[in-house]
Amino acid sequence: MAALPFSDREFKVIADIMYEAAGLSFNDSKKSLIHSRLSPRIHKLGLQSFADYIEILGDETQGAEFQMAVDLLTTNETYFFREPKHYDLLQQEFATYGPSRSLHVWSAASSFGDEAYSTAMLMADMQMRGQIGAGWSILATDISHRVLLSAKEGVFPEDRLRAVSPERLRRYCLRGEGPSQGQVLVQDKIRQKVQFGQLNLCKPFDGLGPFDVVFLRNVLIYFDPPTKTDVVDRVLATLKPGGLFFLGTAEGRVPCKTPITPVIPGAFRKNA
């Protein structure tokens, strides 16, 4: 199939739409990435050019296609117990709280929910041991409607649970058989502790929280420096003083106005 022409102007229009609506930042070096990720979609829709696609992206009644473009231009990669040291720290932290305290966790940019369900398994174990009470909940949000639909179903390819211990797999998961072989269903007792919702981190999200712990891992890579700082400060505003804040370990420390103290790589405590 012939490569679709893609002018600098068309690149700029798409980059501007993505920045305005989702905070995604694409500099000139990303022109070929946008071309390669969106061209197959344009062909699939039977459109003739990037100009036709831009018309759809700019049409507010075609929100589903905008969502599709965001999905194609970002990665949803995630897996259970990613960055195990973060979960070790969380467990140590919760163990100091005692069973009477209610606990609220936010997995911002949750993708398919692996992070939220991992946290729910950890907390369910701690509740079973009497280290925390039953009053805990997890909110998991993402900009992508598609990943949220899948997250709510709680069905995952086995490989994504490779870091889940055999005991947790037995306690909280069901292995598929027959046509579902190779898939794992997270049991209802874990799924019901996680509430999923659509949320664009680059738009206001007043009224959320306060949370004891917030995960904001592996999403800031898409944002430019001012957007990163703005998002981090607004997310930190939802965190209780003394609460833990997790970024991806590769993301380093993001400049923000809110005072935070590093704990381990990728983990910070909001100053009291």
Closest CB 118 distance from ligand SAM, rounded Å: 9
Q: Say how far apart CA 158 and CA 163 lie, in whole Å.
A: 10
Closest CB 21 distance from ligand SAM, rounded Å: 9
Paired tokens of 28 = 């000139």
Comparing CB distances to ligand SAM, the nearer of 173 and 214 is: 214
**Positions that interact with ligand SAM (CB under 6 A):** 22-23, 74-78, 82, 109-111, 115, 142-144, 147, 200-202, 217-219, 222, 248
Question: What are the Cα distances from residue 154, in Å, to 25, 68, 175, 216, 268?
Answer: 31, 21, 12, 21, 29
Closest CB 218 distance from ligand SAM, rounded Å: 4
Half-sphere CA count of 98, side-chain side, radius 13 A: 2
Q: Say how far apart CA 249 and CA 212 lie, in whole Å.
A: 20
Active site residues per annotation: 37, 142
Contacts of 83 (CB under 8 A, 6+ apart): 217, 246, 248, 249, 266
Q: Say how far apart CA 216 and CA 23 lie, in whole Å.
A: 15
Comparing CB distances to ligand SAM, the nearer of 184 and 202 is: 202
Closest CB 73 distance from ligand SAM, rounded Å: 9
Comparing CB distances to ligand SAM, the nearer of 219 and 260 is: 219
Comparing CB distances to ligand SAM, the nearer of 78 and 127 is: 78
| Residues facing residue 214 across a β-bridge | 106, 245
